[in-house]
Amino acid sequence: MPFFIARVARLLRLRLRGWRLPLAVAVVVFLSSWLAMALVEPAGSDIADPGTYWWYFAVTSATVGYGDVFPETLGGRLVGAYVIVGGIVTLTLLFTSLAAALQSVKGKRMRGLVTLDLAGHVVLLGYAPGRSARIIGELADERGVQVVLCAWDEVTEDPLPELPDVGFVRGDLTSEDVMRRAAVDRARTAVVDVRDDNEALAVALAVAHANPGIHLVVALRDLGRLGTLRYVHPEVQAVQWHMPFLLTEEANDPGIAQVYNDLMTSGGHGNTYSTRVPAGFPHATFGECQTWFGRTFGATVLALRGEGGLVVSPGWDTPVPEGSTLYYVAGRRIEPGRLRPAR
């Protein structure tokens, strides 16, 4: 039956694709069975009445068969069998078309060809095996964060299919098409992690054009290129390429890369130092040290190294024994003599 209908449609130059073919089969079976039922059933039978036959056709073709309406003659029962077969064929074609449509959508998603409907998400532009998976894993650890991975055309399929909540878009990372399909204009953060600094500048320019107010983070081999990036996006943050953990920290907590850069730059607003706790030091706990360093020197104590090893940001009740080492941030080094108790 479907083959016959398809041949007729081809002769009539009709395109019966997708859901159109099962619909055509259902219409042909309905009209032909209605006409046949009207011919074989007695004149007084209600089954061929238009107001009744559509109900009979629906329940019979679906193989439900409530039995409230049924044919009285052998010919009518044969027509009913024809309706059952036509219903099974129709449902089979319908479910086949639905499965094919779902598979097509899944295939497009796997190939990164779909347009994503997201907002407030994080877009990672660039893909490197292993490295990108770690970055995305750290980004996704933040509750409620949705991530979209954008890769070049040579990455033919989603490289992270085991992460169903991570979107995938493939194409030229500097194109408006990729910006549109990744919904960059509605994203809160874009992380550019590409193959070299020149490409990073080009991709950053495309992102800034698509969303001038986006929080933009770029991995650079040479941080000296940051000045050029600032022409593209005044608020851009750059991190060293070999420190991918900073990409995720900056993406989740804007401005933290600037703090790291300041701490790691000689002559910055705050430098990190260490000092040994002298004998007779009157502040016996980490909390007391933190308060005294802050009030006296404007410094912040970060960590303590004692017999148990290094502890970053220990509890305020943690003991600070003589001979242990304190690590702190300050505008300049505190002279050891200022830590000794007055005599």
249-272 residue pLDDT tens:
888 878 777 777 666 655 555 678
Indicate if 242 and 280 belong to the same structural domain: no
Indicate if 105 and 162 belong to the same structural domain: no
| Residue 284, CA distances (Å) to 86, 292, 313, 324, 329 in order | 88, 11, 16, 11, 20
Q: How many CB atoms are closer than 10 A to CB 305?
A: 15
Q: pLDDT digit string (tens) for 153-163? A: 999 988 998 88
Q: Give the predicted TM-score (pTM) of the model.
A: 0.60
Indicate if 254 and 277 belong to the same structural domain: no
Query: Do the domain assignments include residue 316?
Result: yes
Query: Do the domain assignments include residue 116?
Result: no
282, 341 contact by CB (below 8 A): yes
Indicate if 81 and 154 belong to the same structural domain: no
Instruction: State both tokens at 47.
Output: 């089954």
> Which residue shows structure tokens 């083959």?
3
Q: Which helix or strand (DSSP H or E) is residue 98 part of?
A: helix 74-110
| Structural domain count, the chain | 3
Orientation of helix 244-252 relative to helix 256-264, angle to 10°: 130
188, 121 contact by CB (below 8 A): yes
Q: pLDDT digit string (tens) for 195-253? A: 999 999 999 999 999 999 999 999 999 988 988 989 888 989 988 888 888 888 888 87
Domain boundary among the residues 110, 137, 162 is at 110
What is the Cα–Cα distance from 75 to 79, expressed in whole angstroms? 6
Q: pLDDT digit string (tens) for 95-145? A: 776 766 556 566 567 788 889 999 999 999 999 999 999 999 888 777 778
What is residue 266's predicted lDDT score, i.e. its pLDDT? Answer: 53
Strand order in the sheet with 237-240: 166-170, 147-151, 122-125, 189-192, 215-220, 237-240
- pLDDT higher than threshold 70 for residue 191: yes
Orientation of helix 74-110 relative to helix 20-40, angle to 10°: 170
Q: Given the DSSP bridges, would you call strands 300-306 and 325-330 parallel, antiparallel or unpaired? A: antiparallel
Q: What are phi and psi of 18, to 5 degrees?
A: 65, -130
Q: Given the DSSP bridges, would you call strands 271-276 and 325-330 parallel, antiparallel or unpaired? A: antiparallel
Question: Residue 298 belongs to what domain range?
Answer: 271-339
Indicate if 139 and 236 belong to the same structural domain: yes
Query: Do the domain assignments include residue 52?
Result: yes
Indicate if 104 and 126 belong to the same structural domain: no
Query: Do the domain assignments include residue 117?
Result: no
Indicate if 256 and 327 belong to the same structural domain: no
Expressed in percent and rounded to 5, the helix, strand and coil fractions of the chain are 45, 15, 40
